[in-house]
Amino acid sequence: MKEEKIEVVEDKTGESIVTKRELKGFWDNFIYWFAVVTSLLHLWYNSFGILPELRLNAIHYGMMLFMGFLIYPLSVKKAKETFKIDIVLAFLALTAALYLLLFEEALNLRNQEVNTYDMVAASVALLLLLEITRRTTGWTIPIIALFFIMYALFLGKYLGGLWNFPGVSVSRFLYRMYFAPDGIFGSVTTISSTFVFLFVLFSSFMVRSGAGDFILKLAISLFGHTVGGPAKMAIFASAFMGTVSGSAVANAVGTGSITIPLMKKMGYKPKFAAAVETAASTGGQLMPPIMGAGAFIMAQWTQVSYTKIVMISIVPAIMYFLSVGFFVHLEAQKYNLRRIPKDELPKFKEVFKEGWQFFIPIVVLVTLLMMNYTPTFSASIGILSVVISSWFNKKTAMKIKDILDSLALGAKNMVNTAIVLMCSGIVVGVVLLVGMGIKFSILISDWAQGNLFLAIIFVALVSLILGMGLPVTASYIVLAVLAAPLLESLMLKDYFINVLNMPAETLKDPNIIAGLKAMVPPDIAVGALLSAHLLIFWYSQDANVTPPVALVAYAAAGIAGSKPFETAMESWKLAKGLYLIPLMFIYDPAILFFGPIDRTIENIITGTIGLLILAIFFEGYFLKYLNWLERIIYAVIGILLIWPERVSNYVGIVGFIVITIFVYLSAKKLKKGTVQ
């Protein structure tokens, strides 16, 4: 048999940048067709087939790990030498999945009494999952998962006070992790094998059909000639790509390879160009309808429809992109950057004529979601609509080979995300097993002394720490299961005190507040629930932009040729909306359309102006270079406008008008003096 060629390349399509094995020859063809079958199988059982959830997730586990062990080598330096070991591990993963399919019924007949073979199969499944997670994301997630496992088995009994836990037997633990619906084949894996897989597949079809190139050309034609045009192109393209992509890294690499060189050409500093792409690509994960894997998990855990989550997320996402745009515009004006001549840009009409059909799948997907069809059905029809709409233009018409390539690409792109989600299932399973979520809520509540703002700061700090080692989705999962109930309770606390006149002393324990939740009107309760989860979801994104570990920033820095840490710091500045906008809807969910419509409109308008003013403060420029006193005044006004309270908003508006008139007159005087 001819010796196979094995190369090692960087994989930037998932939630992390890792080294993967590039197969050639027989194994490349084998993985290709295995991936095609994997996608077809997922399409089948998400559309027509009926399988028990546990079995469906076992199949998903086996297929994802099989591809993972072949694609991601045991040793990067010895990828060729360790390939035989990886083949054995790949088939062992299939065997671990097959065991559950064949012997689950026998376990039920024994009244869930596990035997030696069950324990061996469960142990192998766990160990293989931890190993493949190490290969695809690094050591952090496996170490965290191992800590949770040790806590449940024996570590908890050595801890005192709130964190003491007597421990569970090994057999009971393995049963909960392998056979029960709250382990590695539990709800988190269900989200991976259904919603997330189909939307990743939808994204692969869109990219393969040429939608990515069309989005970039459209952005260039729309914004290329404006002030700061290339940077605004990056924002628009990343926002649009966010509707079809589930990965901030892939977004940054895909659009940044074009927009970053253009920004540098127009005069932007390399680190700023990379930072714009980073901030915009991060925002792509907040942009409906896909919003990464987090939105699907949120829908599953909150029991609020995915459509509802998508609809309330549109306005905050647009506000975020506007906040990045404000920085871009001010930067361009500050340095008087030149525009791209119109004759060097593609014409909008020609671009739109060539690719208008790419809007059809997006419209189909959003329409079906709004009509309350399930996300899986909507995604399946959306995939079909990508193929059909591509035939409206001979240049983009997808042939059989293109369809097969899209199926293979979707399954391969899913491997990294699926493994992250499944390993996160270990953490979620242990948290549910030992009641750690309640303990964490009590701890943070004690630290914050029942103060919502302090609790948010603690959650933000924990999110930042988790983001140093965890991908965005894993960070959201861990924080949501630990902190969301606390934030929800503290939001409802104000309702009990101010509306129901309950004494604050009786509401110190978040568990008491949770028990009183039935007394809260449904719209207020749902508003608090979604606001808490959305804040955590937004704050989990800071792992992309915040040093010392800022994955997307480092990917963009590689394209721009800038220093990674400096790029991350610049990205952190541009992405301030990531931290500020959640404060707006956590203190008044009206911005999420929970409450009077007039208040919703007011919050959107004043909040957007506030974001502009804070961008002025950070840039130190508005019509002219600002001194520190002027910047501080703008900062105070920006905070007043962002804070969702009418009196502060009105004071902020008046203050903005006064200081802007003063700055305008000052700038006019300076300009006149310069001319003379």
Query: 264-285: per-residue pLDDT in tens?
Result: 877 888 998 899 888 888 888 8
Cis peptide before 522 (omega within 30 of 0): no
Could you identify the residue written with the tokens 């983001």?
Answer: 467
Tell me the pLDDT band of 337, cut-offs 50, 70 and 90.
confident
282-297 confidence digits (pLDDT tens): 888 888 877 767 788 8
Mean pLDDT of all residues in the chain?
85
76-132 confidence digits (pLDDT tens): 788 888 899 999 999 999 999 999 988 878 877 777 778 889 899 999 999 999 999
d(Cα 545, Cα 321) in Å, to the nearest integer? 15
- pLDDT above 90 as % of the chain: 31
The answer to whether residue 596 is domain-embedded is: no
Domain ends where: 134, 153, 187? Answer: 187
Asked if residue 157 has pLDDT above 70, the reply is yes
Nearest to 296 by CA among 69, 478, 477: 477
Domain ends where: 187, 217, 242? Answer: 187
Asked if residue 8 has pLDDT above 60, the reply is no
d(Cα 217, Cα 355) in Å, to the nearest integer? 10
Which residue range forms the structural domain that includes residue 137?
6-187
**Side chain identity, residue 463:** S
Residues in the chain, overall count: 676
206-262 confidence digits (pLDDT tens): 888 888 778 878 888 887 777 777 778 878 877 777 666 556 777 777 778 778 887
Domain ends where: 187, 203, 231? Answer: 187
DSSP track, 305-320? -HHHHHHHHHHHHHHH
Q: Provide the token pair at 104.
A: 């689950």
Per DSSP, 481 falls in state H
Count Cβ atoms within 10 A of the Cβ of residue 102 and give its class: 0-12 exposed, 13-18 middle, 19 or more buried: exposed
Compute CA distances 212 → 216, 218, 254, 351, 673, whole Å: 6, 10, 8, 13, 49
The answer to whether residue 181 is domain-embedded is: yes
Contact 554, 568 (CB under 8 A): yes
* Beta bridge pairs of residue 7: 22
Q: How many domains is the chain partitioned into structurally?
A: 2
Per DSSP, 81 falls in state T
Task: Return the H-helix or E-strand segment holding 19.
Answer: strand 18-23
Tell me the pLDDT band of 549, cut-offs 50, 70 and 90.
low
What mean pLDDT comes out for the span 577-582?
92
**Higher-confidence position of 201 and 369:** 201
d(Cα 253, Cα 247) in Å, to the nearest integer? 10
Give the three-state DSSP class for 578: helix
Per DSSP, 3 falls in state P
Residue 520 zone, left/alpha/beta (φ > 0; ψ -120 to 50; rest):
beta
How close are the terminal C-alpha atoms of the chain, in Å?
84
- Count of CB atoms within 10 A of residue 339's CB? 16
The answer to whether residue 169 is domain-embedded is: yes
What's the pLDDT at 1? 39
The alpha helices in 48-156, defined as continuous H runs, are 53-71, 83-109, 116-137, 140-153
The answer to whether residue 394 is domain-embedded is: no
The answer to whether residue 514 is domain-embedded is: no
Backbone angles phi, psi at 11, to 5 degrees: -105, 115
The answer to whether residue 148 is domain-embedded is: yes
d(Cα 581, Cα 354) in Å, to the nearest integer? 37
Asked if residue 494 has pLDDT above 80, the reply is no
Compute CA distances 226 → 338, 590, 631, whole Å: 9, 33, 26
Q: Provide the token pair at 219.
A: 């952005």
The answer to whether residue 42 is domain-embedded is: yes
Give the three-state DSSP class for 9: strand
Q: Give all strands (DSSP E) within 518-566, no chain letters.
A: none
For the question of whether the overall pTM of this predicted structure is more than 0.75, the answer is yes
What's the pLDDT at 3? 44
* CA torsion, ordered 545, 547, 553, 554, to nearest 10 deg: -160
The answer to whether residue 97 is domain-embedded is: yes
Tell me the pLDDT band of 192, cut-offs 50, 70 and 90.
confident
Nearest 5°: the CA angle 257, 263, 269 is 110
